[in-house]
Amino acid sequence: MRVGLHTAAGGDTVGRMADFDELLKLERSGWDSLCDGTGAEFYGSIMTDDGRMILAHGFALDRSQVIASLADAPPWAGYEITDAYLIRLGGHNAVLGYTGRAWRDGSEPEFNALMSSAYVRTDDGWRLALYQQTAIPDRA
């Protein structure tokens, strides 16, 4: 996995690396939940009350819509995160960006996208405020 750190606001390197590691672990936990069928519970607990997901197929879902859609979603068989990077936005806010690849068992095509998750740190830990996908066209 290729990773990098970028900053839009100052901060110590150790703190940025700790945030990067923590957010990447959190992002993987989200994908793990999408693979084991617990995505509705995971994202219901991690999203801010006014959180949104902007998906590659043209939908922008609020938190309650995300929970409802994930309750019935077929699980992913696996995923891969590459080229991950962190952008600090100042204060207790950061964006984790990466290239994601996911697949399901069967004939459904593989999903490839550029993804970004905007997080805010609260007293309860990191919370997901905005998630966005941009599909990567098949170049075959």
Task: Tell me the pLDDT band of 112, cut-offs 50, 70 and 90.
Answer: very high
What phi, psi does 38 have (nearest 5°)?
A: -110, 25
Measured between alpha carbons, how far is residue 89 from residues 7, 11, 63, 119 in Å?
7, 10, 22, 10
In the chain the domains, ranked by start, together with CATH numbers, are 3-135 (3.10.450.50)
Task: Tell me the pLDDT band of 13, cut-offs 50, 70 and 90.
Answer: low
Higher pLDDT among residues 136 and 11, named by residue: 136
Tell me the residue type at 59: F
| pLDDT at residue 5, rounded to an integer | 43
Q: Give 52-95 pLDDT, tens digit per residue.
A: 999 998 999 999 999 999 999 999 999 999 999 999 998 889 99
Tokens of 109: 């095509």
